[in-house]
Amino acid sequence: MKYNRNVYQALTMITQFGINMLVPIFICTFLGIFIDRKLDSSVFTVALFFVGALAGFTNVFRFARRIYEQPAVTRKRSTDHGEKKTGHTKE
C-alpha cells in the first residue's frame, strides 16, 4: 500500500510541474493574441509568450525548491535529537 502512495505522490508532483509550467504560458499567449487582435499588431503574442515561459519556469523552480528543502528539514530533525550542533568544541 505504501508503494501505491509513493507512486500517486510522484504522479501528483509531475502533474503539478506541468500545470505550473503550462498555465502561465497559455494565459500570457492568449492575452497576447487578444491584444494583437485589438491593436492589429503581431508583437504582443510573442513577447507575452516569453513572459509566460519565464513565469512558468519561475513557478517550477520555486515548487522544486520547496520539495527538495522539505525532506532535508525532516531529516535534520530526526537526526538532531534535540541537541544543537554549533561546530564549536569545549576544551
Q: Is 59 inside a domain boundary?
A: yes
Q: Is 29 inside a domain boundary?
A: yes
Q: Which three cell numbers stand for residue 18?
A: 506541468
Q: Is 51 inside a domain boundary?
A: yes
Instruction: Tell me how many domains the chain contains.
Output: 1
Element spanning 36, H or E: helix 2-39
Q: Is the pLDDT at 2 greater than 70, yes or no?
A: no
| Predicted confidence band of residue 30 (pLDDT cuts 50, 70, 90) | very high
Q: Is 89 inside a domain boundary?
A: no
Q: Is the pLDDT at 66 greater than 80, yes or no?
A: yes
Domain range for 6 is 2-78
How many whole angstroms separate alpha carbon 24 and alpha carbon 16?
A: 13
CA atoms within 13 A of residue 54's CA, in its CB half-sphere: 6
Q: Is 40 inside a domain boundary?
A: yes
Q: Is the pLDDT at 81 greater than 70, yes or no?
A: no
Q: Is 87 inside a domain boundary?
A: no
Q: Is 55 inside a domain boundary?
A: yes
Q: Is 85 inside a domain boundary?
A: no
pTM: 0.66
